[in-house]
Amino acid sequence: MAFLGRLLRRNAPTTPSAAHLALDIGTEYAKALVFEYEVGGRATVTGAGRRRQGLAHMQSGTVADIPAVVRNCRTALDEAEEMSGRRAEKVVIGIAGELVKGFTTTRTAERRRPDSAVTHSELERLLEEIESDAAAEAQRTITWETGLPNVDVRLVHAGVASAGIDGYAVSNPVGFQGRHLRISVFNAYAPLVHLGALESVVEQLGLELIKVVAEPYAVARSIAGEQLGQSGALFIDVGGGTTDVALVRSGSVEGTRMFALGGRAFSKSLADRLDISFEEAERVKIEHAGGHELEDADEVAEIVGEDIAVWAAGVELVLEEFGQEGLLPGRIELCGGGAALPEIRAALEADGFASGLPFARRPQVSMMQPEAVSEIDDATGLLVDQQDVTPMALAFQAVEAAQPQEPLDAALARVLKGMRV
C-alpha cells in the first residue's frame, strides 16, 4: 500500500509542496536529502533519510543489485519526505567508482585573422574538437583499464573550466580580438553499465532526473571559488567502497580520480584478523575512530594502520598523476565517513607523504564540515559531520543547475546536443 500511495502521489498534479532530492547511493548507505529552493539561489534541507546497504548490494561504489538498491533508496526517500512534509519530484544523483573518469581537456586554436572578433561558430568549432578528443581519451582509458574491447562509455557531465585570448582570461571569448583562443573543459565519463544502473534506480523511484554528477566533482565545486581563491585544494572523500579525489587549481576542478579502497575494506580486515563478524568489526572501527577505549586497542590500531598505509599509497599514485600538470596545492580537505579514522589524517600529515610529491608547500589537512557547503542550509539539525558533506554537495549541484547558464556553458550544451552525446 505504501508503494501504491507513492505512485498515486507521483501522478498527482504538481503543487507548491513539491521539493527536490539529493541522492547519494554509497557502498555503505543510501542517503536522501529533501530540499527546497529559496529566493536568491539558496536551498534549505528539510528532510534527511538513510538506509544501510547490504554487503552484496554495492561493489566499490557501483550498483551490484538494482532491485535491492531501489528498495534501500526508497526507504531513505520515504524517511526524508516524512520529515520534510514535502514530496520530492526531481533528483540529483551522485556517481562514483574506479571507472568514473574526470579530466580537463585544453586546446588552443591559432586564429588566421587576429584582428577579427571571435564568433559563436568559431567558439563552437573549438568546443567540438575538445569534446571529440575527450571522448576518445575516455574510451581509451576505460578500455585499457577493463581489458575489454568496445566498452560503451558515456558522458556523465561537462563544464567549461576556463577560457582565454592571448593569455588574457575571459568569461566569454565572443567579440574579443586576438590570435590564440584557448578553452579548457572538464568532462566526466563512465561505462554505460554503471551510469545506466543509476538511471534505472531513478526511474523505478518515479523521479525526474535533473543530472548525474561525479561525486568528487560535486564536493569540490561545493566550496570552490571565493573560499579557495587561486591557491586551490585537494578534496579526498573516504567512502565505504571507494576513495574519491578531486583537484582544484586556479578556481576550477581540473580532475577527479577514484580508487576502490574505503571503510568497508578496513572493516573486513578487522573482521578477518580479529575473527569477528563484519557487523562487530564495523562497531569496533567506529569506536576506534571515536577514540573510545577498546579491549584490543593496540591490535586494532595495528590492523587499521596497515590498511591505511596501503590506502595512502593509493592516494600518492593519484597525486603523482595530478602532479604531472603542475604543482599540487598545499591544502587537503577530507570528508566521508572513513575520514574519521585518525590514521587517515596522520598518514597525510606524515613527513614521508609530502616529501615525495610536487606540493607547492607542505599541505595543511583539515576536515570538511557541512556548513562549508555553499548555498545549502540545514533545517533538520541532522547534518553534523564529514559524512554529510557529499549529499549536501549534490544538493548544491541542483542549485547550480537551476541558475541561468553562462554563455560558454550554453555554447557547450549546444555542441553536445549537436554531437548527440
Whether residues 170 and 289 fall in one domain: no
Reported as a single tens digit per residue, the pLDDT across 411-420 is 999 999 999 8
Whether residues 131 and 206 fall in one domain: no
Give the model's confidence band at 41: pLDDT under 50 very low, under 70 low, under 90 confident, else very high.
confident
> What pLDDT is attached to residue 251?
83
**CATH number of domain containing 157:** 3.30.1490
The C-alpha cell that represents 421 in the structure block: 552525446
Residue type, 212: V
CB 213 within 8 A of CB 94: yes
Whether residues 240 and 209 fall in one domain: no
Residue carrying the nine cell digits 548555498 = 375
Whether residues 240 and 345 fall in one domain: yes
Alpha carbons 307 and 327: distance in angstroms, whole number: 28
Whether residues 273 and 338 fall in one domain: yes
Whether residues 132 and 118 fall in one domain: yes
pLDDT at 17 over 80: no
Mean pLDDT of the chain: 92
Percent of the chain whose predicted confidence (pLDDT) is above 70: 94
Helix (H) / strand (E) element for 286: namely helix 278-289
Whether residues 236 and 347 fall in one domain: yes
> What pLDDT is attached to residue 16?
40
Alpha carbons 138 and 99: distance in angstroms, whole number: 10
Alpha carbons 411 and 421: distance in angstroms, whole number: 14
Average pLDDT score over residue span 141-170: 95
Whether residues 38 and 80 fall in one domain: yes
In sequence order, the β-bridge partners of residue 47 are: 34
Give the model's confidence band at 40: pLDDT under 50 very low, under 70 low, under 90 confident, else very high.
confident
pLDDT at 172 over 90: yes
Quote the domain boundaries for residue 251: 228-368
pLDDT at 328 over 60: yes
pLDDT at 7 over 70: no
Average pLDDT score over residue span 156-179: 96
**For the purposes of burial, counting CB atoms within 10 Å of the CB of 219, is it exposed (0-12), middle (13-18) or buried (19 or more)?**
buried
| Greater pLDDT, 354 or 379 | 379
> Do strands 233-238 and 331-335 pair parallel, antiparallel, or not at all (unpaired)?
parallel
> What pLDDT is attached to residue 10?
43
> What pLDDT is attached to residue 163?
96
> What pLDDT is attached to residue 3?
38
Range with lowest mean pLDDT among 16-25, 46-55, 338-347: 16-25
Whether residues 243 and 285 fall in one domain: yes
Whether residues 128 and 163 fall in one domain: yes
Reported as a single tens digit per residue, the pLDDT across 67-105 is 999 999 999 999 999 999 999 999 999 999 999 999 999
Reported as a single tens digit per residue, the pLDDT across 268-299 is 999 999 999 999 999 999 999 999 999 899 99
Give the model's confidence band at 12: pLDDT under 50 very low, under 70 low, under 90 confident, else very high.
very low
pLDDT at 27 over 50: yes
Average pLDDT score over residue span 359-387: 94
Whether residues 214 and 91 fall in one domain: yes
Q: Is 243 helix (H, G, I), strand (E, B) or coil?
A: strand
pLDDT at 135 over 50: yes
> What pLDDT is attached to residue 356?
82
> What pLDDT is attached to residue 224?
57
Whether residues 236 and 335 fall in one domain: yes
For the full predicted model, state whether its pTM sits above 0.85.
yes
Reported as a single tens digit per residue, the pLDDT across 181-239 is 999 999 999 999 999 999 999 999 999 999 999 999 999 999 855 556 567 999 999 99
Average pLDDT score over residue span 98-113: 96
> What pLDDT is attached to residue 11?
45
The C-alpha cell that represents 96 in the structure block: 562514483
Average pLDDT score over residue span 4-19: 46
**For the purposes of burial, counting CB atoms within 10 Å of the CB of 113, is it exposed (0-12), middle (13-18) or buried (19 or more)?**
exposed
Chain-centroid distance of CA 282 in Å reads 24
pLDDT at 304 over 90: yes
**CATH number of domain containing 36:** 3.30.420.40
Q: Residue 346: which residues within 8 A CB-CB, separation 6 or more?
A: 308
Domains contained in the chain, number = 3
> What pLDDT is attached to residue 351?
86
The candidate with the shortest Cα–Cα distance to 93, out of 200, 229, 175, is 200
Range with lowest mean pLDDT among 63-67, 142-146, 293-297: 293-297
Q: What are phi and psi of 195, to 5 degrees?
A: -65, -40
> What pLDDT is attached to residue 15?
40
The C-alpha R_g of the chain, in whole angstroms, comes to: 22
| Greater pLDDT, 251 or 35 | 35
